[in-house]
Structure 1
Amino acid sequence: MTVNRIGLVVHGGRAEAVDAARTVRAWAAVHGVPCKDIDVWNDGGRHSSDEEVAAAGDPDLIVTLGGDGTFLRGARLAAHSDALVLGVDLGRVGFLTEVPARAVEQALDAIRDDRFTVDSRMLLTMRASRRLEVPSDMEGLMRYGRGPLLPPPQVRSDCEEDTEWGVPLHLYAVNDVVLEKLSRDRQVSVGVYVSGRLLASYSADALLVATPTGSTAYSFAAGGPVVSPRADALVFTPVAPHMTFSRSVVTAPNEAVGLRVLERSGQAAVSVDGQVRGVLEPGDWIGVYAAPARLRVVRLAPMDFYGRLRERMNLTDAPAAVADGTPPPLWSFRTPPPGDMAHLSLLPATLPGAEDAEPCAEAEDDDVAPAHGRA
């Protein structure tokens, strides 16, 4: 692939991320590729994705240097510009990032030489009954010590506004869209719709709609299912609901999930990938659905998602099962699969580069609020 311009999203609080950024800049200089830092915190404020991408000259490759929180920042930018995103792993969990910092130069060589595949991930977008804004007197409370909020989402110019279907918002969620209570002593009451039909009314701390990628983040912490990132689905999960039915609901990708704040409910905050983007009043609503755009992630080798799940979540085997024997690490053989299984996705016995793998750094990635977990 011809790399015409690189955008860098760096976790500036980590020395190893700053060092890796120097390596990327040096590689870009050797190969004559313009390289520019993208920093949503510039000039004491925060900027929209369109502003950031335009300032960086519309890069076709965005490299993130940090943990999964830093990756989410870069992914938000990449989704708006249809750029590829390469995640360099300097975090603690690392479900999203692809390569260790010491291998970033080799990763860039592989991209230049077309020795990579593209992992296409589902994104979420939404409409709302009105434009999203955070009241000025609440902004200080919503910062969580992380500086100014992102600006209000812009209205999409390529979609028609409609009094019944609402305002189309120009934003993408990699992990999740969350509707959460603002008052500590009062839950939010919300009517939840799937494909236009009322599913149930919930009184809960929060209600979230996640992508398969985000199923291992906040949704997982709230008791939701683990969904393969290769799947296309919406995962609705209530958080601490006051009702008997507290299960997640997994919908088809063409089934929208609507969340309407009930008339006597308190206010509710709308968060996108852990970033507060607006406050809803009783009677307001949002509709969350699969975005027409996709996130395009660089993969240099087959992703062992379930191996990562076992390792990063510290999954252990049931004592009774261990007493009955030890399973082999892979359910596959070194010979090709038989014809009736040839269409399946089965990992090879040894993953390329597995012998070079190294554990993630234990430093916390402070780009994502801890309550929202990791992707």
Structure 2
Amino acid sequence: MTVERVGMVVHGGRPEATEAARSVRAWCEAHGVVCRDIDVWHDGGRRSARQEVAAAGDPDLVVTLGGDGTFLRGARLAASADALVLGVDLGRVGFLTEVPMARIRAALDAVREGRLDVERRMLLTMRASRRLEVPSDIEAVTKYGRGPLLPPTSVRSDCETGGEWGVPLDVTALNDVVLEKLARDRQVSAGVYIAGRLLASYSADALLVATPTGSTAYSFAAGGPVVSPRAETLVFTPVAPHMTFDRSVVAAPDEPVGLRVLEHSGRAAVSIDGQLRGVLGPGDWIGVYAAPHRLRVARLGPVDFYGRLRHRMNLTDAPAAVADGVPAPLWPVSGPPPGDLAHLALPRGPAG
């Protein structure tokens, strides 16, 4: 693909990210490509994703230098401009980033020469009973030890607005949308609707809706299922619910998940990909659903998601399974698959 403008999202707290940024700038200079930093908070505040990418000259490639948190920031920017995103892995438990620091230049060459796969990841967007805003009394508490908050959510101008269907918010989530309690002694009480039908009224620490990508993040920590990032689903997971039914529910991609705050609930925070975006009270609601567009992620080859899952989560074999024999091979087949299996995603050799 033609790369004319590169935007970089750099984890400023890591020296290796700063060093990696120098490599990206050198590559851009050598190939006559414009390169700018974005989302750097130099002015002491933050702008909307659309404003940030516009200020960076509308890059056609966003390069993230850090871990999964940095990648999420870059994904938010890339999604707003339909730009390609490339993640350089400088994190500790990364599922999203791919390129090691030593291969940055080779990866940029591959993107420029079209030697890449473009993976499309599902995104979430939402409607709400009103615009999301963070009250000043909450902002003072949540800002401690963190960077500046994002500005209040804006309303999409290309959608019908108002009435009982609420307002369409100009937001996207790659991982999850979370409704969580603000006070330790006041849980969130909310009615949960899937595909327009009441599932149940929950009282819990948090209620979250995740994408397949986000299934290995907060949802996983709360006991949710691991879902292939290639799948198209919404995963609803309650966190520490005060009820017998504490399981996740996996919904189809066209089945929205609604969360309505009930009368005796405490105030609830709405976080999008870990970023606090608003506070709701009794009677307020949000509806989370699949966005019409997808995030375009640059991949240099097939992604071994399950191998990465085994490695990142330090999965070990059950002692009883290997006590009297040898562990299962990573993949016991060395030859090509027969014709009736050729359409399946399978490893190409015994190494997986």
TM-score range, shorter chain: over 0.9
Q: Which amino acid aligns with 2:83?
A: A
Q: How far, CA to CA, are the matches of 2:272 and 2:326 in structure 1?
A: 42
SS of the residue 2:74 aligns to: helix
Structure 1 residue 263: Cα displacement: 1.0
Gapped regions of structure 2 (runs ≥ 5): none
Q: Which amino acid aligns with 1:101?
A: M
Q: How does 1:66-81 map to 2 (within 5 A)?
A: 66-81=66-81
Q: How far, CA to CA, are the matches of 1:254 and 1:201 in structure 2?
A: 22
Q: How far, CA to CA, are the matches of 1:320 and 1:191 in structure 2?
A: 43
SS of the residue 1:348 aligns to: coil
Q: Cα deviation per residue 1:74-130 (whole Å; 9 max; x = unaligned)? A: 000001100000000000011100110111000001111111000110000000000
Q: How does 1:90-169 map to 2 (within 5 A)?
A: 90-169=90-169
Q: How far, CA to CA, are the matches of 2:144 and 2:98 in structure 1?
A: 29
**Structure 1 equivalent of residue 308 of structure 2:** 308
**Structure 2 equivalent of residue 243 of structure 1:** 243
**Structure 1 equivalent of residue 182 of structure 2:** 182
Structure 1 residue 144: Cα displacement: 4.7
Structure 1 residue 205: Cα displacement: 0.3
**Structure 1 equivalent of residue 23 of structure 2:** 23
Q: Is the 8 A contact 1:334 1:349 kept in 2?
A: yes
Q: How far, CA to CA, are the matches of 1:41 and 1:8 in structure 2?
A: 13
Cα 1:286–1:315, aligned 2, differ >3 Å: closer, same or farther? same
TM-score normalised to structure 2 length: 0.98
Cα 1:40–1:126, aligned 2, differ >3 Å: closer, same or farther? farther
Structure 1 residue 141: Cα displacement: 1.2
Structure 1 residue 184: Cα displacement: 0.8
Q: How far, CA to CA, are the matches of 2:68 and 2:91 in structure 1?
A: 7
Q: How far, CA to CA, are the matches of 1:165 and 1:350 in structure 2?
A: 53
Q: Is the 8 A contact 2:317 2:327 kept in 1?
A: no
Q: How far, CA to CA, are the matches of 1:203 and 1:27 in structure 2?
A: 53
Q: Cα deviation per residue 1:233-271 (whole Å; 9 max; x = unaligned)? A: 000000000000000000000000000000111110000
Q: Is the 8 A contact 1:332 1:346 kept in 2?
A: no
**Structure 1 equivalent of residue 14 of structure 2:** 14
Q: Is the 8 A contact 2:331 2:347 kept in 1?
A: no
Q: Is the 8 A contact 2:236 2:248 kept in 1?
A: yes
Q: Larger RCO: Structure 1 or Structure 2 (Cα < 8 Å, ≥ 6 residues apart)?
A: 1
Structure 1 residue 148: Cα displacement: 2.1
Q: How far, CA to CA, are the matches of 1:332 and 1:212 in structure 2?
A: 28
Q: Is the 8 A contact 1:68 1:94 kept in 2?
A: yes
**Structure 2 equivalent of residue 367 of structure 1:** none
Q: Which amino acid aligns with 1:260?
A: R
Q: How far, CA to CA, are the matches of 2:154 and 2:287 in structure 1?
A: 16
**Structure 2 equivalent of residue 339 of structure 1:** 339
**Structure 1 equivalent of residue 2 of structure 2:** 2
Q: How does 1:347-362 map to 2 (within 5 A)?
A: 347-349=347-349
SS of the residue 1:296 aligns to: strand
SS of the residue 2:165 aligns to: coil
Q: How far, CA to CA, are the matches of 1:162 and 1:322 in structure 2?
A: 61
Task: Provide the alpha-carbon RMSD of the alignment.
Answer: 1.2
Structure 1 residue 349: Cα displacement: 2.0
Q: Is the 8 A contact 2:336 2:348 kept in 1?
A: no
Q: How does 1:260-271 map to 2 (within 5 A)?
A: 260-271=260-271
Q: How far, CA to CA, are the matches of 2:46 and 2:69 in structure 1?
A: 16
Structure 1 residue 23: Cα displacement: 0.5
Cα 1:229–1:147, aligned 2, differ >3 Å: closer, same or farther? same
**Structure 2 equivalent of residue 322 of structure 1:** 322
Gapped regions of structure 1 (runs ≥ 5): 355-375
**Structure 2 equivalent of residue 214 of structure 1:** 214
Q: How far, CA to CA, are the matches of 1:301 and 1:329 in structure 2?
A: 23
Q: Is the 8 A contact 2:192 2:258 kept in 1?
A: yes
Q: Which deviates more from structure 2 when the two are superposed, residues 300-309 or residues 321-330?
A: 321-330
**Structure 1 equivalent of residue 61 of structure 2:** 61
Q: Which deviates more from structure 2 when the two are superposed, residues 324-333 or residues 57-66?
A: 324-333
Structure 1 residue 331: Cα displacement: 3.0
Q: Give the paired residue count.
A: 352
Structure 1 residue 136: Cα displacement: 1.3
Q: Is the 8 A contact 1:332 1:348 kept in 2?
A: no
Q: How far, CA to CA, are the matches of 1:74 and 1:349 in structure 2?
A: 34
Structure 1 residue 152: Cα displacement: 0.9
SS of the residue 2:78 aligns to: helix
Q: Is the 8 A contact 1:40 1:47 kept in 2?
A: no
Q: Is the 8 A contact 1:40 1:52 kept in 2?
A: no
Q: Cα deviation per residue 1:47-75 (whole Å; 9 max; x = unaligned)? A: 11011000011101000000010000000
Q: How far, CA to CA, are the matches of 1:321 and 1:262 in structure 2?
A: 48
Structure 1 residue 327: Cα displacement: 3.9
TM-score normalised to structure 1 length: 0.92
Structure 1 residue 147: Cα displacement: 2.7
Structure 1 residue 228: Cα displacement: 0.3
Q: How far, CA to CA, are the matches of 1:139 and 1:124 in structure 2?
A: 25
Q: How far, CA to CA, are the matches of 1:350 and 1:339 in structure 2?
A: 19
Q: Which deviates more from structure 2 when the two are superposed, residues 136-145 or residues 324-333?
A: 324-333
Q: How far, CA to CA, are the matches of 1:63 and 1:209 in structure 2?
A: 27
Structure 1 residue 40: Cα displacement: 4.5
Structure 1 residue 151: Cα displacement: 0.5
